[in-house]
Amino acid sequence: MSHEYRKNPEAVSRLSPEQYHVTQEGGTERPFANPYWDTKEPGIYVDVVSGEPLFASVDKYDSGTGWPSFTKPIEPRNVVEVRDVALGMVRTEVRSAHGDSHLGHVFDDGPIATGGLRYCMNSAALRFIRRDDLEREGYGEYRALFEHPDGGRSDE
């Protein structure tokens, strides 16, 4: 199934002030005061502006930072990494490839067993799609992420 993801001006116009600040101005939301930092429900996270699939709950972990953290993107082609020296230090910014939204940063202090990366994202840049809503929302191809090889469901 092929989707065309792009920056959607209508979606940008519907952003809350915080979502706009984060996605369009490169801002950062407060830790532990955002909707997805401790969400454990199965599902995927998409760009709030373009809808492009970015991360899955199966790759999410509690990094202790107060932001949603993932070990890897579900669609590497949907994320772009950019060198960021804005705060006087070298970091790697993560942006959505098609929506050009600022999502957060990637660091090399993640779990070693899963590659050592921590994609530290802003909830304000993401929209969560519950596993049971994937088909209805047009993301049915990601349903397999939540199926066990023996046919059972993965509820994390």
- DSSP structure class, residue 123: G
Q: CA–CA distance from 120 to each of 59, 75, 123 (Å)? A: 12, 16, 10
Hey, what are 45's tokens?
Answer: 């996270």
The sign of the CA dihedral 35, 37, 42, 46 is positive
Per the DSSP assignment, residues forming a β-bridge with 54 are none
Beta pairing class for 69-70 and 60-61: antiparallel
For residue 125, indicate whether it is catalytic: no
At a CB cut-off of 8 Å and minimum separation 6, what does 55 contact?
Answer: 44, 45, 68, 70, 73, 74, 119, 121, 126
Catalytic position from the list 44, 120, 129, 134: 120
Would you name the residues annotated as active-site residues? Answer: 120
